[in-house]
């Protein structure tokens, strides 16, 4: 089991949101691996000099790269789930059975995971 962070979760980290920070500290104490998607990082990263909190957290987060077939898989998943955000779709490809997903968009993530038939705990940020 791992925790997966979407763009909303990383934006909350960048803004030093105490609730999200506390969640990440609990996950760390529980030794739960934390992951995100390279597409999510691209969506939120702007300037490392001004995003020190985000840079620090990302240092301990696994980042799934876009694989050669992920574009097709994400597109097909979006069609099935009737969503349009490629970043959310790639993130959904990162989620495995039993994972926790910290997201600001639980509806779209939920639809994407339902189409993949993945049972995960979705935590609204």
CATH at residue 83: 3.40.50.1010
pTM for this entry: 0.94
Interatomic CA distance for residues 27 and 101, integer angstroms: 12
Provide the domain count of the chain. 1
Position 48 pLDDT exceeds 90: no
CB-based contact 104:8 (threshold 8 Å): yes
Enumerate residues 6+ apart whose C-beta is below 8 A from 117.
Answer: none
Residue 49 — very low, low, confident or very high, per pLDDT cuts 50/70/90? confident
- Structural domain range at position 65: 3-124
Q: For residue 104, what pLDDT is reported?
A: 97
């Amino acid at each position: 089991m791992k925790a997966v962070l979407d763009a909303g979760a990383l934006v909350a980290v960048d803004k030093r949101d105490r609730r999200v920070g506390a969640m990440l500290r609990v996950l760390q104490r529980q030794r739960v691996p934390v992951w995100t998607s390279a597409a999510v990082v691209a969506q939120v990263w702007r300037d490392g000099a001004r995003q020190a909190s985000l840079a620090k957290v990302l240092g301990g987060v696994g980042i799934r790269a876009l694989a050669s077939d992920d574009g097709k898989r994400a597109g097909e998943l979006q069609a099935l789930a009737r969503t349009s955000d490629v970043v959310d779709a790639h993130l959904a490809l990162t989620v495995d059975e039993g994972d926790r997903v910290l997201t600001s968009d639980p509806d779209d993530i939920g639809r994407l995971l339902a189409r993949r038939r993945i049972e995960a705990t979705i935590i609204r940020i």
